[in-house]
Chain A
Amino acid sequence: MMELHYALWQNIPFACIILPLASAAFTSVMKPRLARWWAMAVLTIVTVLSGVISAQYLLGAESYVFPMGHYYAPIGNEIRAGALEALTALFFSIIMLLSLMGGMKKLDEHIDGNKQNLYYVILLLLTAALMAQVYTNDLFTSYVFLEIMTLAACALIAIRKRGRTLVAATRYMIMNLIGSGLFLLGIVILYDLTGHLLMESIRGQVAQIAATGEYAQPLTVVIALFVIGLAIKSALFPFHTWVPDAYGYSTPTSQAVLSSLVSKGYIFLLVKIMYRVIGVDVIAATGIDDVLFVFAIAGMIMGSLSALRQNDVRRMIAFSSVAQIGYIYLGMAMGTEAGMMAAMFHLFSHAVCKSMLFLAAGGLADASGNSKLFRDLRGAGYRSPIAGVAFTIGALSMVGFPFLGGFVSKLNLALAGIALSPVKASIVLVTLAISTMFNTMYFLRTVITLYRKPLDGASYPVEKGQRGFCFNAALVLLALINITLGIFSQTVVNMITAGLGMFG
């Protein structure tokens, strides 16, 4: 046995990227049924591997870099693993697996039989791209995999062929390509200024530039391009117009994956850029985090207000996403360690919660004659008990009920907000209160609807809406993860703090 330079577990990030990437090519020639189990198997392996590496960091492992090839960075490509990367990879892979499980039955109905294997190709490539996004230590690699994410997300929307989804996919593509373009422009200018693509090397150069003040204007433009580009792609408030259609009309698995993984992948990239490429202090010096703060506050209010006005449950959840993305950006815009920790925690809790809500809403709609309108959803909680309970748990978590993930993230956000200057602190607290009130209004209204007496004269098809074992198991597991996040939050918080420390 030849001696490996890295411990076996340290090869996991590499395996998590290459395995789905290589298996995606094989999936393209498979029959749908085989492709499904193949994709499930690969996602399960990635999840288990991510679990192993997270466990290593839980036991106090150190961060390390792993060259992709024979050459060390900055000559070659490089990936890097730390506590935060491992944890994010674990969350992303679990949610990907459970979203696929939960929406599997629906795929048969929504996608042509002979195109189903392509759906799994897209999902696997998306997984590989997300993993690469999480682990990469190179700005240009992140752009390459960002392109894969954008295209995969378009395909996820458009594969359910209805007029609305095609329009939504086109809109999504236009907005996201603008975002990608701005991001690429930022990389190009930054490369011209620093001569590096490796994150650490750029950071050193940027610190020098910021100290001398020679290229202050281009540097500010670069930061603005990064922030706006990724804000468009992750649907921060003024750039959110593509959200309701894109999330609202695609198939449930796509809804869950788009809202909880794709947008979160972009946010994680932005966090990485803030910490490892530009530096939080440099960003704070340009004042761009204040702009982000205003956008986030506006998003928290406006997203909730829009959600209040919907009468289609899927669009309501989609608009609620806009508000929740506002929460995450709020934490990031605070510019403090506590704020960033709260943002990352909310990123996880929202990802778990939103995928569960979308899947549950799909199941409830199935039990109500495939209608997503509130008046038809009356009593759906009795017709599809597990989906009803899961939706209730998700809704309570969104509102911030204790013992659930959403409570801890709101608490952390509030605690991080108090530490800011008095004006900002009061703005944060007041907005949190208002937004929570709105959340309660529209989520509890939905929950109450679910357990009300159906309209007179309405009869629902015999189909119980229980879409088989996989659907129920996925919802139960997601609900359990949500509760675990709420109860054992301190472990996750510690790991996030350790990971942010390793970002250094």
Chain B
Amino acid sequence: MAKIRPDYETSWFGRLMHWLENGSTALDDAMTDEMDAHSRDHLVDSEHHHATQEHALEERRHAALEREQRMYSSLHQWASTKGSRLMRWVYIVASVVMCVGIIALLLNTAANLPPYGDPDNPVNNEVSAHYITQGQAETGAVNIVAGMILDYRAFDTLGESNVLFIAAVTVLVLLRLAPSRDGKPTTEMLEAEADDRLYEPKHDMILQHQANLLVPLILLFGIYVVMNGHISPGGGFSGGAIMGAGLILYLNAFGFRKTERFFTFRTFQIVSLMALAFYACSKAYSFFTGANHLPSIFSPGTPGMLFSAGLIPYLNIAVGLVVCCTMYAFYTLFRKGDM
């Protein structure tokens, strides 16, 4: 038998053979073991006795630890050598150069764009002229912006409200501490609850008196902004944000005990569902009738009245509710992972 070279393990040929035998390097093992640590335990032959199995596991652990030690020391050496420090500098310099380059490029681009505010700019074309001259007559909304986002380009806004919805869903996925299957709160939940109670302001008279005064005003103002979205500046997005701020203020002043009486996770679910479903269904109806030239039950009405401009006020309410609930939900989820 030929003699194996002492550095066989690290030679190219040795590594090729190792790879062909479906082996892996120490670094790979360490990284995948971390991921599938307990999943491979039951691959050990069941014939082995419990003791031997334990022994084998212990041995494997030692080997892994040793390997890790070796890996870390070699990494450490490598990290402290001159070469890697040079590389770090190269990275820093390269990123700075790239950033400055991109900034310069974009500034140069901005300088080459059509002059700001020039009436002859391509932006001032027949589309914007149409919105301004025909907007009120066609949509019935005095606020042209509301007419644009909720009627002319309603499809974009439908998508945009679903962006909010999916953002809320993503935050729920990440942060919500849900009760276990039998409905009992988990320890994680109880801990978060206790933590929250610890840091919550308790009976803060100044805050509570202020809130007593401000919360109704804020909520009313929010409702006003939503309801008048098609008449004056404002609308669902801004009004909803105002209402959400009012709810958050109320929560901070009076605590979860009181808000839970009228706003729980279920409320959040139901309100967002109703608002989004109404939004999607009414817009589906409106798109379908519009494209197919069918008569629609919604008419522009008298511009300037509270219930005019067809669907727009109702859509504003739906958007306002979604935004309000989403804001409040974000706040509570980031605070204690539940509502």
Contacts and interface: CB of A to CB of B under 8 A. Distances in A.
A118 B43 contact: no
B97 interface: no
A486 to B, nearest CB: 30
A28 B272 contact: yes
Contacts of B42: 369, 461
Contact of A193 (B113, B130, B178, B290): B113
Given A164-B35, A375-B23, A195 B291 contact: no
A140 B130 contact: no
A218 B130 CA distance: 27
Interface in A28-76: 28-29, 66-71, 74-76
Contact of A114 (B123, B181, B295): B181
Given A76-B153, A192-B113, A132 B166 contact: no
Given A22-B281, A195-B127, A218-B109, A148 B290 contact: no
A186 B104 CA distance: 16
A77 interface: yes
Interface in A137-160: 138, 140-141, 144-145, 147-148, 151-152, 154-155, 158-159
Given A26-B273, A249-B35, A121 B169 contact: yes
Contacts of B20: 445
B78 to A, nearest CB: 19
A24 interface: yes
Given A113-B181, A144-B163, A376 B123 contact: no
B154 A77 contact: yes
A369 B291 contact: no
Contacts of B124: 195
B119 interface: no
A459 B41 CA distance: 11
B254 interface: no
A369 B41 CA distance: 8
B263 interface: no
B125 A68 contact: no
Contacts of A164: 35
B188 to A, nearest CB: 11
A449 B21 CA distance: 9
Given A217-B108, A311-B28, A148 B45 contact: no
Interface in A359-390: 368-376, 378
Contacts of A232: none
B291 A28 contact: no
Interface string B283-323: 11011111111111000000000000000000000000000
Contacts of B113: 189, 192-193, 215, 218
B276 interface: yes
Given A69-B152, A147-B163, A376 B276 contact: no
5 contacts: A21-B280, A75-B131, A118-B169, A118-B173, A459-B44
Please give me the 10 A-B residue pairs with the lowest Cβ-Cβ distance, nearest first: A70-B290, A195-B122, A22-B280, A144-B159, A25-B276, A77-B155, A370-B39, A68-B155, A311-B24, A374-B22
